[in-house]
């Protein structure tokens, strides 16, 4: 079955703009914020959100000589913290990049493309504990597709997209794929059994490299 587009570039831009405003408002400014994206596409989303938050803070009292302090962002690989490595031992870790100021005492916003079972985010929380002690951890996702297996809920959501477990949500981003789009396709005819919740989703590049795509 052909994939159908559910979010186009303009939709993703609006979603990220809204999330950036919500983060800025909830944090009462950009001070003390650190954004950490979960590879692969969560990293690009974190970078874009950090740029938006920095721009929105430019006209506030936080700016110095009219120039806002850039919101730090980085990448948090969770591969070695997953609970399914025995089933998928070929996963390749991605670099973890913690901003120079660290995360101790900061408000860390985890950023991912799709939230599914919640197991990737649980792994991310374990990973964060090995890098410091933040004051708070928040979660921002572009798409929440439901089917949670753990009591994890995002603080900021671009789009709630109810879906069947046999469907795949593909997140495409300009920096990685050359285009911004979110598509959905039914994979029930592609495999004899329903896909594992942590393998059913999201980005094609991760699926091809046998890495977890989400989540």
Asked whether the beta carbons of 95 and 77 are under 8 A apart, the reply is: yes
Largest CA distance in the chain: 62
The CA–CA distances, whole Å, from 13 to 108, 109, 179, 190, 200 equal 22, 19, 12, 32, 25
Q: What is the mean pLDDT of the chain?
A: 85
Domains in the chain, CATH or no CATH each: 10-163 (3.40.50.2020)
Candidate from 11-15, 68-72, 112-116 with smallest mean pLDDT: 68-72
Q: Any idea which residue has 């959501």 for tokens?
A: 157
d(CA 69, CA 96): 23
What percent of the chain has pLDDT above 70? 79
Write down the pTM of the prediction: 0.84
Per-residue confidence (pLDDT) for residue 43, from 0 to 100:
98
pLDDT tens per residue, range 96-111: 999 999 999 999 999 9
Q: Tell me which of 26 and 84 has the higher pLDDT.
A: 26
Alpha helix ranges (H) inside 109-186:
119-129, 174-177
For 166, the token pair is 């046999």
Closest CA relative to residue 173, chosen from 50, 45, 46: 45
DSSP 3-state of 160? strand
Please, which pLDDT band fits residue 1 given cuts at 50, 70 and 90? low
d(CA 192, CA 189): 7
Please, which pLDDT band fits residue 214 given cuts at 50, 70 and 90? very low
């Amino acid at each position: 079955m052909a994939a159908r587009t559910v979010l186009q570039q303009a939709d993703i831009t609006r979603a990220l703009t809204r999330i950036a405003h919500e983060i800025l408002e909830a944090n009462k400014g950009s001070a003390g914020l650190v954004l950490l994206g979960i590879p692969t596409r969560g990293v690009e989303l974190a970078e874009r959100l950090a740029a938006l938050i920095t721009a929105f803070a430019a006209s506030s009292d936080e700016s110095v000589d009219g120039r806002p302090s850039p919101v730090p962002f980085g990448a948090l690989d969770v591969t070695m913290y997953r609970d399914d490595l025995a089933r998928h031992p070929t996963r390749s870790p991605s670099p973890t990049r913690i901003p120079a100021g660290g995360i101790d005492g900061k408000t860390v916003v985890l950023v991912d493309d799709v939230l599914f079972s919640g197991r990737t985010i649980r792994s991310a929380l374990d990973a964060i504990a090995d890098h410091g002690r933040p004051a708070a951890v928040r979660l921002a996702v572009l798409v929440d597709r439901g089917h949670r297996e753990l009591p994890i809920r995002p603080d900021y959501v671009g789009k709630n997209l109810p879906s069947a477990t046999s469907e795949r949500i593909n997140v495409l981003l300009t920096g990685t794929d050359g285009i911004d789009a979110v598509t959905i396709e039914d994979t029930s005819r592609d495999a004899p059994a329903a896909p594992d919740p942590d393998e059913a989703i999201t980005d094609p590049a991760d699926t091809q490299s046998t890495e977890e795509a989400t989540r």
